[in-house]
Every structure is written in C-alpha cells, then in structure tokens.
A = this chain, B = another copy of it.
C-alpha cells in the first residue's frame, strides 16, 4: 500500500499514541462544537436548532476495493456519503464521528492517508470530526461514519412531503459513478490477466472521480436557501434513481412520471456505456452511488428551478393510483422497479 514510503506498524505506537497521531491535525471550526475528541463523548450545542443524525457503513470487499481505491479518496468518500444524507434533509452538516477497523495489513501511514481524506472532506464542508473508535480487525478495513447536522425545524425536508403536481428535480448527472466502477472492474480484470499492461483510464477522469471521490451537493442547499425554496421532499441517490424515487412515492403516498429524455447523463458516461455495451439509462436508474439529490418542489417554482445551475426537472408527481412510471420519448410508459443492494 505504501511500499516506497515509511511504514510504521500499528503496534509500534499503541492505541493512545495512534489516536494522538491521527487526531493531531483536527481543527474545530463549528461554533456548535463544544467538545471534540478526547472525552467519553463529543458535546454539541445546537443553539435552538433541530439535530439530524445519519450513519453509513463501508466494508472492504463489499463497498470498496483497495486495488483501485486510494485510501485518501476512500476516507473522503466515507465522509461525503454521510454529508450527502444530511443535505438530503435540507440540513447543514456540522460534526462527524468515525469508527475504523484495521487489520495489520495496514500501517500508521495508511491510516494517516485515510484520515487526510476524511479531514479534507470535513474541511470543504465546514464539518468537525469530533470522535470515533479505532480498533483492530481480523480481516480488512471497515469504516462506519455518523454525521450530525443542524437545521431550523421548518426547513427540514423529509421523503414524505411530495404532493400531486409537484415537480421532480435532480442535481448533476446520473449513472457516471456506476460507469466509473465498471471501467475500474474491467481494468482490474485485464491487469490480473497480465500485470504488465497499464490500465487504460485516459479520458475517463470524470467518471472515475465520480465513483472514487464523490461530492455531496451542498451547492443545491445554498441555492434553495437563497431562493427561499423549501423542497416538499428530498432524498440522496445512493441506490439509483428508481429506488430513491420509489422511496419518495411510498413515503409521500403518491405516484410519479419521470421523462426518460430528461434524465441527465454526462457525455463521458454515454461514451463508456457504448464501449461496454451497457444502456446508460440502466446505469442512471439502477447504478447508484451518484450522491446527487432528488427532490420535489411545488409547480409554481418551475421557473426558478429551470434557471438553477446544476439542477434539472425530470418529471412530476401524480396520484398514487397511476403508479410510478417512466415515460419514454415514444411508446408505452413502463413501471419503475426498485433495486436495493444485493444481500449475498
């Protein structure tokens, strides 16, 4: 992992020294953080706001492959996927805690790389790392992150508030992280067949970065706030558009119509999909790991959203009796189908 660099074994430091080394660069920037690492628990003063809490779990071999996932990117991603959940509540992330399990395959410098990525993600979003638990693991690397955010009560956005005729909107583009993963998996197979071949990754930086180092969509929350729009519902896209849209429909007791031609797909995603003979719409609908925000707003906000940088209207909410439907440019509507993670 860091063959050419210094390698300090974990047992050379011991628990308390290791924690000192890993946490020495943590700076607290949030006024709501009263106490960070170094006690039984962190202390947060929410100053009259409500608190949102979310947890995500990343396990080696399931959620990431260190053959192509640099540790710094992995740390960054572990934080980002949690911040994404906080933004999906229309809240602002303020603190995170982390649980890290490591086997002796990893050295102190590896953990410092991981931490550097976590702290970079925190810094970009003004979030404090306030606690955690670092422990040994028999079998690899595991990361559990809990993110905490704050919001005024009347701004918090659930999955359950979508109303008939609301516009369905999404940030960024979809399917690119999935295509990035497919590319990495292809090159991994080629490499394991012939280790002397160099991976062919040129020109695909965008989809690789989307998978390896996703960004949480803080910008949308800023733009909505500036426009004084509170979405009627919102969710982040971790499992794919289909699955998330169905969550909103189920929670809100509504149906939807999504127009296939409106689903935003990047040109690099199209190019990779053609090369790998995958329908890019399948990647967008079921690929997952986009960490874009899917949200609904009242129809009278149409012009504001249409002019908003980085957001796109892809459909509208209907009565639940008409179901959750995909509308192709020509031909018959088809029903949306959910896909969760594949349990073993």
Chain A residues with CB under 8 Å of chain B are 10-11, 13-16, 18, 34-35, 38-46, 48, 50-57, 59-63, 85-86, 88-89, 91, 95, 97-101, 103-104, 130-133, 135-140, 142, 144, 146-149, 153, 156, 158-160, 234-236, 251, 338, 340-344
**Set of chain B residues within 8 Å of A50, measured between Cβ atoms:** 34, 43-46
CA gap between A55 and B56 in the complex, in Å: 13
**Chain B nearest Cβ from A188, distance in angstroms:** 17
Task: Say whether A62 contacts B135, CB under 8 Å.
Answer: yes
Task: Say whether B343 contacts A158, CB under 8 Å.
Answer: no
**Set of chain B residues within 8 Å of A153, measured between Cβ atoms:** 45
Task: Say whether A40 contacts B133, CB under 8 Å.
Answer: no
> Per a CB cutoff under 8 Å, which of B34, B61, B103, B159 touches A39?
B159
Task: Say whether B131 contacts A54, CB under 8 Å.
Answer: yes
Task: Say whether B136 contacts A343, CB under 8 Å.
Answer: yes
29 A-B Cβ contacts within 8 A? A10-B344, A11-B342, A14-B343, A15-B340, A15-B341, A39-B160, A40-B89, A40-B159, A40-B234, A41-B85, A41-B89, A41-B147, A43-B51, A43-B53, A43-B156, A53-B130, A54-B97, A55-B99, A57-B101, A60-B138, A62-B137, A62-B138, A63-B135, A97-B146, A99-B144, A103-B344, A104-B344, A133-B144, A139-B139
